[in-house]
Structure 1
Amino acid sequence: MPSLKTYDLFISHAWTYNDEYYKMVNMLKQTPLFTWRNYSVPEHDPLKAKTDAQLYAALQNQIRPVNAVIVLAGMYAAYRKWIEAEIEIAKSYKKPIIGVKPWGNALVPKIVQDSAKTVVGWNTASIVEAIRKYSL
């Protein structure tokens, strides 16, 4: 069997919404025949930044090497500033953005709709299919 591509992914999230982030991580880890590396910034391994400018630069370093950026659209309203920054950084590096709607949400923020290659529901098969289709 040929070796599978390993996808380098950045999952946009907020620490106060760790449940959604860890559910996403676990979904991807449990997907058969899918290999990936996590370039996200989990709470247990924060970036070393003291100012907004330092945080922005550190996020650039995290996003620069990835194949795709996944935006968990349900957190947008509360964390608009940094999610918009991550989207801006992804776009500056021409990284594909995949929006993921949380369970029960019909609405997706306009910036996510306008920036994403696709917006999928909270479904492992849909998310993995989008990653495979749109990743660099």
Structure 2
Amino acid sequence: MFEDERDDKIYNLIITNGFDKNKEYGQFTEKLYSKTDFLWKESMSGAYASAGEEFYQKVDRIIMLAGLYSDNKELFDDLLNASKKYDIPIVLVRPIGVEEVPEVLEENAATIVGWNANCIIDSIKDAPETM
């Protein structure tokens, strides 16, 4: 890696979790950990609907694992609302093995990505700051 290409930013992410019958959250975080040149941390809240500006102003991206949507709609709705209110880009990750994503998520995503680790990292880094 060339010195001028090095990205030392630590990305602060919210990654959707919740009821996860296919263990997508664990698989996704493994992809992030596999890229040792990508620095990140995760912000979590017990209630995203009531987390305020102080919490969200530190968040760089909201990662939505579309495969978890049907079992966690309230969580996704809370994060969609926060994304709009605090202007946080959404990186939408397709369900494993499926190309289609829920329309409401697609309409609000800054970018949509599959499960390739390099593509995930590029999508996080390159997601437009404004939607």
TM-score using structure 2 length? 0.82
Q: Deviations over 1:38-85 (max 9, x none)?
A: 1135xxxxx2xxxxxx65213766443111000000111121122111
Counterparts of 2:114 and 2:17 in 1: how far apart (Å)? 16
Counterparts of 1:62 and 1:23 in 2: how far apart (Å)? 26
Mapping of residues 11-90 of structure 1, within 5 Å: 11-17=15-21, 19-40=23-44, 47=46, 56-58=49-51, 62-90=55-83
Matched, 1:109 2:102: yes
Amino acid at match of 2:49: Y
Count of residues in Structure 1 that have an aligned counterpart in Structure 2: 125
Alignment-derived partner of residue 92 in structure 2: 99
Alignment identity in percent? 27
C-alpha distance 79-60 of structure 1, shift in aligned 2 (>3 A)? farther
C-alpha distance 15-77 of structure 1, shift in aligned 2 (>3 A)? closer
3-state SS in 1 of match to 2:41? strand
3-state SS in 2 of match to 1:76? helix
User: Does the CA-based 8 Å contact 1:56-1:85 persist in structure 2?
Assistant: yes
3-state SS in 1 of match to 2:11? strand
TM-score using structure 1 length? 0.79
Q: CA deviation at 1:9?
A: 0.6
Structure 1: runs of 5+ lacking an equivalent: 42-46, 48-53
C-alpha distance 59-96 of structure 1, shift in aligned 2 (>3 A)? same
